[in-house]
Amino acid sequence: MTSESTYPVVTLKPKKALPFFSRHPWMYANAIKTITNSPDVGAEVVVLSNDGKFIGRGLYNPQSKIRVRLYSWEEEQLLERPFWERRIKAAIDLRRKLFGDGPAWKACRLIFSESDGLSGLTVDRVDDWLVVQWTSAALIKHQAEILEILQAELSPKGIWLRTEKGIKELEGLDVSDGLLSGERPPRPLFIEENGLQFGVDLVEGQKTGFYFDQRENRKAFAGYADGANVLDVCCYTGSFALNAAKQPGCQHVHAIDSSASALELAKGNAELNELSAKITFQHADAFDALEELVAEKKRFDLIILDPPKMARTRGGLSRAIKGYVRMNRMAMELMNPNGILMTCSCSGHVTHEDFEQVVARAALDANKTVQILEERGQAPDHPVISSCLETSYLKTFICRVSS
Ligand code: SAH
């Protein structure tokens, strides 16, 4: 029996197949000509080009703009347990290769959705717990077997579910945060990063609890902290601030965030690492706080700007760019001569080139000369997959600012 006869078949319109032959996993409704058998949410489908060539196997969701998420490009690779097991093991193997038995093995992203061939699933490891996040109502149908595989591979003490805002509207996915298996995570859990201890709150913390994507960038940041008066804007639980403060020569760090609960954890983290004396925390809106610092003519030698995603949609891009320019302009104005600015954007809609333009525009507005020393991205446990460049989202530029 051929796969075409046992699985619903999605046939594409003419000239729509190229991205999917190129292994892009998101198939929107406008690419689809016909679908046989009216499949349910989560059904495995076979995708064919208009002229009947096999393209791949995917999971169907009639409620999502992404009608089919593709996972397999080989006709014989059915989307069943052995397939998920291979994908999950491959993802875990990569982190093992990257981190060995080092501390990051217990503080990293184990599965990064499209980048690990598992569109719609993110898994972080935090100490002996896993945090799972689903962004696909189709893939979640495989939750039971995927959790079994994770349990067998990693023996976590517990698996906690976090949900993403807006996912019900996007995917028809109606789930809420909670324990999926094992024990509830202590609050906080503790992880080690770059020789520092951090408390992570899986239950109430932002996103999945900790921003592992900046791990290596924080290390690079700390490399500039010797002798520096430092400003950490959007500090969350204090990770950049602490990485800088740990440098023996670092003078002082001022850290700002608008989340009171994040700042509570940040203060706890500073105490835990005996760095409280070097760090002040401010509960404020970043733009307001920067304006005040500029007005007071405060000066810093090292600044990190790590704001939340400012462009959630393509439509929001020009507003977001204005926000980034304003924030960067103020940071540049706060610089001592030849200070170092690490500036970040985690908006996928803002390209690398867009962000270079942001820096250029802010430099003009601040009347400064800016040298971009390094253009960095996300940590390697958040790989960018070449077939889906939307997985490249983080831009972290290190700049020297002079007058
Ligand atoms: N630098 C952090 C991650 C920052 S995430 C780290 O490496 O862990 C973005 C942070 O910006 C969050 O902590 C969020 O609470 C904060 N935030 C969001 N909007 C803000 C605003 N208007 N002013 C200040 N902080 C803001």
Summarize pLDDT for 40-53 with one digit per residue, the tens: 999 999 999 999 99
Nearest ligand 1 atom, CA 211: 8
Is residue 353 over pLDDT 50?
A: yes
Q: Report which of 373, 372, 367 is spatially closest to residue 403, judged by C-alpha positions.
A: 367
Is residue 146 classed as helix, strand or coil in its secondary structure? helix
Strands (E), 236-348: 252-257, 279-283, 300-305, 335-345
* Farthest CA pair distance, the chain: 76
Tokens of 342: 């690490």
What is the model's pLDDT at position 311?
A: 83
Contact 134, 141 (CB under 8 A): no
DSSP state of 385: B
Residue carrying the six token digits 């995603």: 309
Instruction: Name which residue sits closest to atom 1 of ligand 1, judged by CA.
Output: 235
Length of the chain: 403
Q: Is residue 228 predicted with pLDDT exceeding 60?
A: yes
> Is the CB of residue 394 less than 8 Å from the CB of residue 388?
no
CB 114 within 8 A of CB 99: no
Arithmetic mean of pLDDT, 367-395: 98
The confidence band for 1, taking pLDDT boundaries of 50, 70 and 90, is very low
Whether the per-residue pLDDT at 307 is higher than 60: the answer is yes
User: Model-level pTM?
Assistant: 0.96
Q: What does the alpha-carbon distance between residue 87 and residue 76 come to, in Å, rounded to a whole number? A: 15
Closest CA relative to residue 28, chosen from 36, 18, 16, 38:
16
Structure tokens that stand for 218 in this block: 């924080």
CA of residue 192 to ligand 1 center, whole Å: 21
Residue 5 has pLDDT above 80, yes or no: no
268 alpha carbon – ligand 1 mean position (Å): 17
**pLDDT for residue 313 is more than 90:** no
* Of the candidates 318, 108, 296, 326, the residue with the CA atom closest to the CA atom of residue 233: 326
Work out the average pLDDT over 93-113: 98
How many percent of the chain have pLDDT more than 90?
97
Of 204, 215, 234, best ligand 1 pocket probe by most atoms within 8 Å of the beta carbon: 234
Q: Which of 211, 164, 227 minimizes the C-alpha distance to 308?
A: 211
To the nearest whole number, what is the mean pLDDT of the chain?
96
Q: What is the pLDDT of residues 173-208, one digit of tens each?
A: 999 999 999 999 999 999 999 999 999 999 999 999
In the reported structure, the alpha carbon of residue 209 is separated from the centroid of ligand 1 by a whole-number distance in angstroms of 13
Ligand 1 atom index nearest CA of 288: 23
pLDDT at 295 exceeding the cut of 50: yes
The set of residues, in sequence order, having a beta carbon less than 8 Å from that of 260 and lying 6+ positions away, is 283
**Whether residue 346 lies in the annotated active site:** yes
- Report the chain's C-alpha Rg in angstroms: 23
Which entry of 108, 235, 346, 399 is annotated as an active-site residue? 346
Whose structure tokens read 């993802």? 91
